[in-house]
Structure 1
Amino acid sequence: MFRYPALIDGEAGAYGVVFPDLDGVVAMGDTIDAALLNAEDALRDYARSCEELGEQLATPSPLESVEVPEGSTLTTVPLIRPGGKPVRINLFLEEGTLAFIDGEAKRRAMTRTAYIGWMANRMAQMGG
């Protein structure tokens, strides 16, 4: 899994994300969270398009080498590729943890299952 450098700029109500390594791959959002979620989708769509066209996916640059324009913030966006067959599991979680999961899932308009899968992928991306 890769994490691509991304630059966020804008102001409340209109944020943009660009990928210095990937010309033309951009995302927008009303909030920084929304812009970053949209950036994950844009990155995944770009990777899928590269695969369909038989093109090589660009290797992410080290963060240290990315030039950050004034007014922009440097972050990374994970390339999370869905795939594989869903498998049913049973989990036992502390009530507070489950409440957090349900709140975050609702905030992101996801099901509990989708959120747990998404979060597990994010933690794997971060090496957590």
Structure 2
Amino acid sequence: MGGQITRYPVAIEPGTETTAFGVAFPDLPGCFSAGDTLDEALAGAEEAAAAWIDAALDAGEPIPAPSSLEVVRHNPDYAGWIFGVIAVDPALLDDTIERVNITVPRRVLRRLDASARAAGETRSGYIVHLTLGEPRHIA
């Protein structure tokens, strides 16, 4: 998916005076959004897609390629719905390793390194696992 914006088709269930607009992603199972207005529903859909993709990558799951909008539009499950696309930032799909410099107080760095050693990891690996919320097993 490279550095290009990826556009996922969305099916939008029209809202009424008493029901919210619903947004479904045919290519991202279980990913949906809703809002009292169409603008709210679409803004929530962008956040939902980002969260869905991030969780799938964390779990080692593949990210489905987007279907064409035309295919989704002709799906009978979405008869009477409105259609659109949500742009996904290519950075969300990028697991390229990048070297970074961080600035922390020495006392914090000592604690970080001690915790990493106790977990049998490098400093970098430990930071990544903490960020991803993965459980740490101290040796």
TM-score band, normalised by the shorter chain? 0.5 to 0.7
Q: Distance in 2 between matches of 1:46 and 1:23?
A: 9
Matches within 5 A, 1:1-128: 1-12=5-16, 14-66=20-72, 67-68=74-75, 69-80=78-89, 81=91
Q: Distance in 2 between matches of 1:40 and 1:18?
A: 11
- Tell me how far 1:78 sits from its aligned partner: 1.0
- Secondary structure, aligned partner of 1:34: helix
- Tell me how far 1:24 sits from its aligned partner: 0.7
Superposed CA offset, 1:6-55 (max 9, x none): 00113246100001111110000010000000000000001100111111
Question: Runs in 1 of length 4+ with deviation above 3 angstroms?
Answer: 81-85
> Structure 2 length as normaliser, TM-score?
0.55
State the identity as a percent. Answer: 34
Gaps in structure 2 of 5+ consecutive residues: 101-139
Larger radius of gyration: 2
1:8 maps to amino acid: I
- Secondary structure, aligned partner of 2:67: coil
- Secondary structure, aligned partner of 1:17: strand
2:79 maps to amino acid: E
